[in-house]
Structure 1
Amino acid sequence: MTAAIAHNVVSARPVPLPRGYRFELVKLVSQWRIRLLVLACWIAPAFFVAGVSLQSTLPSDTLFGRWMHATGWAGPLVMLGFAGTWALPLLTSVVAGDVFASEDRLGTWRHLLVAVRSPGRIFAAKALAGLTVILLLVAGLACSSAAGGVVAVGSRPLVGLDGQLLAPGDAAGRVVLAWACALAPTLALAAIGLLGSVALGRSPMGLLLPALVALAMQVAQMLPLPVAVRLALPGYAFISWNGLFTSPAQAGPLLIGVVVSLVWAVLATALAHLLLLRRDFTNPAYDGAGRRAFTLGLLPLAALTALTVAVIAVATPSMGSGIRQDKVQRSVATAFAHLYRLQTRQLHRPAVTEARLRATAACTKSDGQGAQEGAGNDWRCVVTWHLPDVAVAGTAVYQLDVASDGRFVADGDGPKEVNGYFLVRTPTGDAPNPLWQFDGNVELLDTTSKGQSHAGNTATPS
């Protein structure tokens, strides 16, 4: 009798993966906090974006925040910036960081193993269920914020980070692509959550791990680190999507960030799977993988970071800050030329092309003292341009605050009729002055040699 029972247990087949996946998905969405998160992600962003877009004061310190009155496609980009900093790390912590630890807290591993009969299929079902919920949450944030912006303001052209005016269809496509690229670092954080959930057991650190890792990466991005180190961190794709809103697109850093994030996601998921398969499920007092969490969890990810830094440093000349004087001058001159044309249309003046403007910028850091490179709020630029049939060149002054990730805010410092006031008087009434303040982006990866800095000062014609 005993031999027959043992034979039946051994010959029992594991539960098919689709059935296990449905079971784990139902378990996840039956939790009140998951339902609340899904509801919030699909409703709250629409009301937030619509409400902010209809206010008189805009979040001008946020990327694309100053354009929320002008177009509905600025709203989802503001939401993406907030989501990459706070929302997505917290969402991955709640979903992926608890998917395995909940079984430890409830003591249900033995029942699950008896029902499924395969630790590998349990891992796959839980990982796929968590991925499904995370994708649903990200889709809700993107769709809801876009709907709120378009309904409140309308589908209108969007001003890019180089001052180029993007048609509504083009802007919508780039917004969708930016949110799609943000999925890569989200998956990396979700994989880290799976790893922490498996390795740390019922410890609350497993739940907090994705948020803590995201916070550490944000702090690292604010430090004066070499470009190769920045690109080697999976969270870089949360900020490099802004390269999509220049013409031509600054796709190099974004592609590297997406690839690095996906490699992190694959490695962290594989490590979590390996730790789960090596776990002793017969020990009811299990409280984490202990030393194996360090050797099979932390060390491989640290080695991957070091390897990625070395590969990027060899493939690209990126061991400096990436912010050089010629790059800043080129970015400021290009953005000014595009925005000057926008102001010209506002004032109903004769149209002029960027090629005829011949805008250039002369920028210095710290009044020319010290190295003319690196981040800081002590950049000062004097923009010069030429109008057809006008002998005297026009000049305008800007104070720049350049962040370590290459994003800068140019604040107009006169003359008043050009960039010294936030409104311009048009034939139809006062309108926001596009030259008063504008956002820009310096591509950290070198695309031109230092010897081409003079050519880089001239705005590219459209």
Structure 2
Amino acid sequence: MTTTVAADHTTVARPVSVPRGYRFELVKLVSQWRIRLLVLACWIAPGLFVAAVSRQSTLPSDTLFGRWMHATGWAGPLVILGFAGTWALPLLTSVVAGDVFASEDRLGTWRHLLVAVRSPRRIFVAKALASLSVILLLVAGLACSSAVGGVLAVGDHPLVGLDGHLLAPSDAAGRVFLAWVCVLAPTLALAAIGLLGSVALGRSPMGLLLPALLALAMQVAQMLPLPVAVRLALPGYAFIAWNGLFTSPAQVGPLVIGIVVSLVWAVLATVLAWLLFLRRDFTNPTADGSARRALTTGLLPPAGLLVLTVTVLTVAIPSVGSGIRQDKVQRSVATAFAHLYRLQTRQLNRPDVTEARLRASAACDKGAGQVTPEGPGNDWRCVVSWHLPDVEATGTAVYQLDVTSDGRFVADGDGPKEVNGYFLVRTPVGDAPNPLWQFDGNVDLLSTAPKG
């Protein structure tokens, strides 16, 4: 008797590769109508807005760089950047990253996805990369659209920095680009927190709202008179620290710290989301995670990171308190006034004078001298003095200052009328905005200059 042994050919199912999973998740995201609408809005709306506002007689002068939208096309993308860091980017990360995992819970498609991909790790990587790609596409649209709209509507002209000095068009373009690149760090932190909320909270809408709510809480915290170390330890500080790029020399200390803190938060939140996702029970379609595990793994480590960051920065940075001191305010106001005085001199076709020969200085007090001259507030008052060559009399001008908690201030001219009393100045070619009437400035919170 002959026995025939048949070979058993078994096909081994292999997990889908990460590139294929990434393409699949990217197509799923882009096929959603709200994502397509967001992409269209980010690539068209900012340019139209900047072009329209630049043509209006009334400018958003209460917005950083808004008063210069008539003068140069590079002010527009900075106005959009300020709005984006406050509202647009947190909402975009919520819609994209905050829903990328929760959508599978709502649709009940986890088992189908696991059968198709056969690797929870690769599913996580594919979803994280797809959401990151869409977010980068949206940020690029905001930056490119606003820059193109501003340059086409107004022109490629010099930009006035936050200390009054003129930035050449090429320098302004480079710094605008760098500012948009810098805000990618806090955007990644919010996106990672969105991934964490989407994994930890499942079907709950709180996962979708988590990045926006966290950004709102950080905005409220930035308006409070917090110590410098606490302010810099918040992952969203880089959304406003880019202001320091537009001074000379650039105030890069707070910006670098803000970027590093944001990236640390991004890494921590992504790792926590990864751990929660891999420990999840996918066999039960109604179970979208353990509430206790979400609390211990998703909340306690970020809180510990915040405490650790505050402790490290308190020891490392030289500034104490709010970082806003009388000598810093006086130095910033005098520097900005000297630069803008030269700009006004060129407008009026007067003989040029250097800052060294102008010898501008400022004497500032707070609360009419009744309170300690430090910290934010709208009760700062500065008297600026300067000297013109071959003129014995000393020129003086008065400014009322509103200094915010992050060091930004608005100086409002309060006379004399020939210097800063009017919005317009009469030039040989017609009326033009008076650069000394009202101007923005920035106090370096980490400056270690000796008190004067």
TM-score, L = length of structure 1: 0.95
2:53 matches 1:88? no
Shift of 1:305: 0.7
Give the aligned residue type for 1:62. T
Provide the residue aligned with 1:460 in structure 2.
none
SS of 2:381 mapped into structure 1: strand
Shift of 1:318: 3.2
Provide the residue aligned with 2:259 in structure 1.
258
Q: What are the within-5 Å matches in structure 2 for residues 388-399 of structure 1?
A: 388-399=389-400
Provide the residue aligned with 1:353 in structure 2.
354
Shift of 1:283: 1.4
SS of 2:149 mapped into structure 1: helix
Shift of 1:285: 1.5
Give the aligned residue type for 2:100. V
Provide the residue aligned with 1:340 in structure 2.
341
Give the aligned residue type for 2:42. C
Provide the residue aligned with 2:119 in structure 1.
118
Q: Is the 8 A contact 2:281 2:289 kept in 1?
A: no
Q: Mark the runs of 5 or more structure 1 residues left unpaired by the alignment.
A: 454-462
Provide the residue aligned with 1:242 in structure 2.
243
2:192 matches 1:191? yes
Give the aligned residue type for 1:207. L
SS of 2:418 mapped into structure 1: coil
Provide the residue aligned with 1:457 in structure 2.
none
Give the Cα–Cα distance (whole angstroms) in 1 for the partners of residues 28 and 293 of structure 2: 29
Q: Is the 8 A contact 1:201 1:289 kept in 2?
A: no
SS of 2:257 mapped into structure 1: helix
Shift of 1:13: 1.6
Provide the residue aligned with 1:15 in structure 2.
16
Shift of 1:12: 2.1
Q: Mark the runs of 5 or more structure 2 residues left unpaired by the alignment.
A: 1-7
Provide the residue aligned with 1:59 in structure 2.
60
Give the Cα–Cα distance (whole angstroms) in 1 for the partners of residues 84 and 194 of structure 2: 17
Provide the residue aligned with 2:329 in structure 1.
328
Give the Cα–Cα distance (whole angstroms) in 2 for the partners of residues 415 and 103 of structure 1: 66
Give the Cα–Cα distance (whole angstroms) in 1 for the partners of residues 344 and 220 of structure 2: 37
Give the Cα–Cα distance (whole angstroms) in 2 for the partners of residues 106 and 135 of structure 1: 26
Range moving further from structure 2, 289-298 or 403-412 = 289-298
Q: Is the 8 A contact 1:312 1:318 kept in 2?
A: no
Provide the residue aligned with 2:4 in structure 1.
none
Shift of 1:319: 3.4
Give the aligned residue type for 1:233. L
SS of 2:237 mapped into structure 1: helix
Q: Is the 8 A contact 2:280 2:289 kept in 1?
A: no
Number of residues of Structure 1 aligned to a counterpart in Structure 2: 445
Q: Is the 8 A contact 1:275 1:289 kept in 2?
A: no
Give the Cα–Cα distance (whole angstroms) in 2 for the partners of residues 371 and 406 of structure 1: 17
Provide the residue aligned with 2:291 in structure 1.
290
Range moving further from structure 2, 311-320 or 25-34 = 311-320
Give the aligned residue type for 2:309. T
Range moving further from structure 2, 188-197 or 281-290 = 281-290
Provide the residue aligned with 2:378 in structure 1.
377
Shift of 1:64: 0.1
Shift of 1:372: 1.0
User: What do you get for the CA RMSD once the two structures are aligned?
Assistant: 1.0
Give the Cα–Cα distance (whole angstroms) in 1 for the partners of residues 92 and 80 of structure 2: 14
Shift of 1:118: 0.6
Q: Is the 8 A contact 1:410 1:437 kept in 2?
A: yes
Give the Cα–Cα distance (whole angstroms) in 1 for the partners of residues 201 and 103 of structure 2: 11
Give the Cα–Cα distance (whole angstroms) in 2 for the partners of residues 340 and 446 of structure 1: 25
Give the Cα–Cα distance (whole angstroms) in 1 for the partners of residues 248 and 319 of structure 2: 22
Give the Cα–Cα distance (whole angstroms) in 1 for the partners of residues 199 and 406 of structure 2: 34
Shift of 1:321: 0.3
> Percent identity at matched positions?
84
Give the aligned residue type for 1:161. L
Give the Cα–Cα distance (whole angstroms) in 1 for the partners of residues 444 and 310 of structure 2: 18
Output one character per residue of 1:36-92: Cα deviation in whole Å (capped at 9) or x when no partner. Answer: 000000000000000000000000000000000000000000000000000000000
Q: What are the within-5 Å matches in structure 2 for residues 427-438 of structure 1?
A: 427-438=428-439
Give the Cα–Cα distance (whole angstroms) in 2 for the partners of residues 290 and 423 of structure 1: 61
Shift of 1:289: 2.9
SS of 1:352 mapped into structure 2: coil
Q: Is the 8 A contact 1:202 1:288 kept in 2?
A: no
Provide the residue aligned with 1:407 in structure 2.
408
Output one character per residue of 1:398-435: Cα deviation in whole Å (capped at 9) or x when no partner. Answer: 00000000000000000000001000011111100000
Provide the residue aligned with 1:299 in structure 2.
300
Give the aligned residue type for 2:130. A
Provide the residue aligned with 2:107 in structure 1.
106
SS of 1:355 mapped into structure 2: helix
Give the Cα–Cα distance (whole angstroms) in 1 for the partners of residues 427 and 358 of structure 2: 21
Give the Cα–Cα distance (whole angstroms) in 1 for the partners of residues 88 and 118 of structure 2: 36
Give the Cα–Cα distance (whole angstroms) in 2 for the partners of residues 340 and 324 of structure 1: 24
Give the aligned residue type for 1:328. V
Provide the residue aligned with 1:202 in structure 2.
203
SS of 2:419 mapped into structure 1: coil
Shift of 1:317: 2.4
TM-score, L = length of structure 2: 0.97
Provide the residue aligned with 2:447 in structure 1.
446
2:205 matches 1:233? no
> Which stretches of structure 1, 4 residues or longer, exceed 2 Å deviation after superposition?
none
Output one character per residue of 1:103-139: Cα deviation in whole Å (capped at 9) or x when no partner. Answer: 0000000000001111010000000000000000000
Q: What are the within-5 Å matches in structure 2 for residues 264-275 of structure 1?
A: 264-275=265-276
Q: Is the 8 A contact 1:198 1:276 kept in 2?
A: yes
Shift of 1:24: 0.2
Output one character per residue of 1:366-390: Cα deviation in whole Å (capped at 9) or x when no partner. Answer: 0111211000000000000000000
Q: Is the 8 A contact 1:142 1:179 kept in 2?
A: yes
Give the Cα–Cα distance (whole angstroms) in 1 for the partners of residues 17 and 381 of structure 2: 64
Give the Cα–Cα distance (whole angstroms) in 1 for the partners of residues 327 and 333 of structure 2: 10
